[in-house]
Structure 1
Amino acid sequence: MREFSWPRLWLGVWIFGWLLCITLSLVHPPQMDLDLPDSDKIGHCLAYGTLSAWAVLIFRTHRARLGAALSLIALGIAMEFAQGLLTDYRMMDARDALANTLGVLLGQALALTSAQDWLQQWDRRWAS
């Protein structure tokens, strides 16, 4: 991890995001009156992109960020299987897994910018 004043807080936020993602993937989906085909793919991409970008913010090394990205991709695939096998109100959809993976890759792109240090800088300012 990067050097933080509150490393457990920032790691805890990321873990909470994982738990929230798992929970929302398995609970009954809310009824939305959107008539856009495949609009849920945007939500998949945003959720996994956020988790992936957060990993870039909290993990210092390329290896740790790669591990986080691969873990998130595996989570996205596992959640699709879980939806198909463990629920009767959700369905397994390979396009959702693809949207999850795209989100992970987009989130990892944060590592290519100076914004990757944002949380660490903010943590330092907040701690002083």
Structure 2
Amino acid sequence: MSGFLALKPFHRPRVWLGLWLVAVAAVVVLSLVNLSGLPPVPEGGDKVEHFLAYALLSAAAVQIFRDRGTCVAVAVALVGLGIGLEFAQGMLTTTRMGDPRDALANTLGAMAGLATVLTPARHLLQAMEARLLPARA
């Protein structure tokens, strides 16, 4: 379990980490696939989507990882991911284009999610898990 020392003490830490990694992968895939068949969003609505996606990823990391330093490192990595995906959209796809305002929305979202480390809500997932899966005798 030494590789999971940075995780909070959950009943099933690998499950929570795995779900978070699936969410990160979903953001990567959805950032690069052709979404032209979806209904259009109102102008600027995609910036809200970018902000929310990265805020949720970052806030979820706060729920999963034990210390603030790890949470900061994850948020910085998410900022890098968001910027990198904007470049990838412009360079690797023909149906998407990179937008610096999307990268800014990603960054602001990651920072907003990280800010939850300063609130009592940072332990919400642990509390929910403890209620759902009481300690074994």
Out of 23, 29, 47, the position equivalent to 2:29 is 23
Q: Which amino acid aligns with 1:31?
A: L
- Alpha-carbon distance in structure 2 between the residues aligned to 1:120 and 1:68: 19
Given the alignment of the two structures, is residue 58 of structure 1 paired with residue 59 of structure 2, yes or no? no
Given the alignment of the two structures, is residue 83 of structure 1 paired with residue 89 of structure 2, yes or no? yes
- How far did residue 107 of structure 1 move? 0.6
Tell which has more relative contact order, 1 or 2 (C-alpha 8 A, sep 6+).
1
RMSD, aligned α-carbons: 1.0
Q: Which amino acid aligns with 1:87?
A: T
Count matched residues.
Answer: 127
Moved segments of 4+, more than 3 Å: none
Question: Over residues 85-104 of structure 1, what are the superposed CA-to-partner deviations in whole Å (9 max), with x where a residue is unaligned?
Answer: 00011001000000000100
Q: Which amino acid aligns with 2:33?
A: V
Residue aligning to 2:4: none
Residue aligning to 1:40: 46
Given the alignment of the two structures, is residue 93 of structure 1 paired with residue 63 of structure 2, yes or no? no
Q: Percent same amino acid among aligned pairs? A: 45
Question: Over residues 49-85 of structure 1, what are the superposed CA-to-partner deviations in whole Å (9 max), with x where a residue is unaligned?
Answer: 0000000001110111011101100000010011000
